[in-house]
Amino acid sequence: MSHPHEDAEKLGYEKSEETYMEWQNYWNTVHLDKTESILNVTHGTSTDWKSVETNGKGDAQADIDTKKTSSNGVKKDRRWIFAMRHGERVDLTYGPWVPFCFDENGTYVRKDLNMPVTLGERTGGKESYALDTPLTRVGQLQARLVGEGLRAAGVALRHVYCSAALRSAETAHHLLLGLEADASVKVRVEPGLFEYKGWHLARGMAPFMTPLELHKAGLNVDLNYKPYTDLEINTPETLDDFFKRNEYAMQSAVNDTVAQGGNIMFVGHAATLDVMVHAMKRLAAGDNEDLNYQISKHLLRVPYCALGAMRENPWEVVSPPCPPSINSSSGRFDWKTLLDI
C-alpha cells in the first residue's frame, strides 16, 4: 500500500533539479581539483530508489510492533530499518565561521540567528569545531521535522545509532525530540557509521566528541553503549574499508536487536542511505564476499535529513512512511542597504 504523500512526488521538482544541477557543477569542479576538500560540497537528495533491483511498496500498518503473517500462520516481525543523512551544517552554510564566532578566550559567541545558541566543551576547542561542525538551527529543525513525520505516521524507534560526527549526533538527538520518544531511547554513537575518511585528507580530522562530552552538551546519548568499531582518525582508508566498517556496524546492530525487536534508525551521511541498502541486501543473502563498493552516482541527490527505508522479512526497499521535506537557500541580509533609501 502506498502512503498519502506519494502522490506529490513532483512537488518542488523543478526547484530541486535546479539545486542538484548547481551542486553537480560544483562537484565536477571539486572532483577535478584534487586539492579541494569534498567537505565544501553541501547537499544533494535521496538515492534513486527506483534504480534498486528490489522496489518495495511498504505497508500500511506502521507501528513499532508491525507484524506480518507468514504462510504457516506464524507472526514474523517486519521491522522498519531507516537510514538518514544529517541536517544543515554550520560550515557549509557560512563558510569559515570559527574566526568570527570565538573570542580571544576561545568562548563561542553566536553571530547569526541560524547558528547554535551554545556549543559544548570539547577537546581541541574551536579548532575541533572547525573540522567537526555542529548543525545550524535550521538543521536541528530539519531533524525534528522527520521525527514529527514518523510520529504522525505511527512509527516509533527503539534503536538509534549515529555516526561519531557531531552533526550526526545532533541530528539523531533532535530526531528523537520530534518523535517525542521516551527518554530511555538514547542515541548510540557508532564511529563505524562515519563517512569515507578519504574526503578529509586535505584538512584533517578533529577528535570526535566523546559520549560524555556530548552528554554534557545536552544530547541524550547512551553512555553505556560499546561501539562495534573503533575509528582511527589519522590513518587513511580505502572505499572498501569504509564500506566494510559501515556494513559491519549496521548488520551487527540489526542482528543484535532481533530478540528485543523494534525499529532501527541509522543517522549518518549522504552515503549512509546507499550503504544501508547494500548492507541489508547482503545480510539477507548471507553474502560475505568483497563488494568492490563504489560511491553511488546519486550521492549529490541526497539532501539534508533525507530518509531511506527498508523492511525486514522479506528485506525490501520501501517508501518511507512520512513525506520528505524541501527548503530554499537564503542569503545574509545587510541592513545597511536601507541607509540608501
Q: Identify whether 333 is part of a domain.
A: no
In a domain, 259, yes or no: yes
Identity of residue 46: S
323/5 Cα distance (integer angstroms):
5
296, three cell numbers: 553511488
Q: Whole domain around residue 57: which residue ranges? A: 43-90+133-328
**C-alpha span between 136 and 159 (Å, rounded):** 25
Give the count of domains, the chain.
1
In a domain, 200, yes or no: yes
Would residue 6 count as lying in a domain?
A: no
For the question of residue 173 being annotated catalytic, the response is: no
Best CA proximity match to 188, nearest among 138, 123, 235, 256 = 256
| Cα pseudo-dihedral 158, 161, 166, 167, rounded to 10 | -70
The verdict on residue 98 lying in a domain is: no
Cell of 323: 513525506
Q: Is residue 33 part of a domain?
A: no
Q: Is 246 a member of any domain?
A: yes
C-alpha to C-alpha distance for 105 and 275, rounded to whole angstroms: 42
Query: Active-site residue 158, yes or no?
Result: no
This prediction's pTM? 0.81
If one counts every other C-beta atom within 10 angstroms of the C-beta of residue 93, the result is 20
CA distances from 126 to 52, 68, 103, 133, 233 (A): 42, 50, 10, 10, 18
What is the tens place of the pLDDT at every residue in 94-117?
Answer: 999 999 999 999 999 999 999 999
Per-residue pLDDT of the chain (341 residues; tens, 9 = 90+): 666 555 545 644 665 577 667 767 755 654 455 434 333 333 333 333 333 333 344 443 334 334 443 444 444 679 999 999 999 999 999 999 999 999 999 999 999 999 999 999 999 999 999 999 999 999 999 999 999 999 999 999 999 999 999 999 999 999 999 999 999 999 999 999 999 999 998 899 999 999 999 999 999 999 999 999 999 999 999 999 999 999 999 999 999 999 999 999 999 999 999 999 999 999 999 988 888 888 888 898 999 999 999 999 999 999 999 999 988 777 788 888 899 99
Candidate list 43, 78, 86, 173, residue with the active-site label: 86
Choice among 85, 89, 174, 278 that is catalytic = 85
Q: What is the CATH number of the domain that holds 219?
A: 3.40.50.1240
Catalytic residue (one of 269, 278, 301, 311): 269
User: Residue 86 catalytic?
Assistant: yes
Q: Is 84 domain-assigned?
A: yes
Dmax (CA) of the chain: 78
